[in-house]
A = this chain, B = another copy of it.
Amino acid sequence: MIGRKLVTRLASDGGVGELLLHDVIESRAPRAAFPVRTLVGDLSAPGEAEKLVALRPQVIFHLAAIVSGEAEADFEKGYRVNLDGTRRLFEAIRKAGDGYKPRVVFTSSIAVFGAPFPEAIGDEFFSAPLTSYGTQKAIDELLLADYSRRGFFDGIGLRLPTICVRPGKPNRAASGFFSGIIREPLAGEETVLPVPKSVRHWFASPRAAIGFLLHAAQIDTAALGARRSLSMPGISATVGEQIEALRKVGGEKAVRLIREQPDATIMRIVEGWPRNFDARRAAGLGFRADASFEEIVRIHIEDELRT
Contacts and interface: CB of A to CB of B under 8 A. Distances in A.
Interface of A: 75, 114, 118, 124-130, 132, 135, 138-139, 142-143, 145-146, 149-150, 226-227
A128 B146 contact: no
A38 B129 CA distance: 37
Nearest to A272: B226
Contact of A126 (B125, B129, B130, B149): B125
Given A132-B146, A139-B142, 20 more contacts: A75-B150, A114-B226, A114-B227, A118-B124, A125-B126, A127-B127, A127-B142, A128-B145, A128-B227, A129-B142, A129-B145, A129-B146, A130-B149, A135-B142, A135-B143, A135-B145, A135-B146, A139-B139, A139-B143, A142-B142
Contacts of A75: 150
Copies in the complex: 2
Nearest to A152: B75
Contacts of A150: 75, 132
20 contacts: A114-B226, A114-B227, A124-B125, A124-B126, A126-B127, A127-B127, A127-B142, A128-B145, A128-B226, A128-B227, A129-B142, A129-B146, A130-B149, A130-B226, A132-B146, A135-B142, A135-B143, A135-B145, A135-B146, A138-B142
Nearest to A227: B128
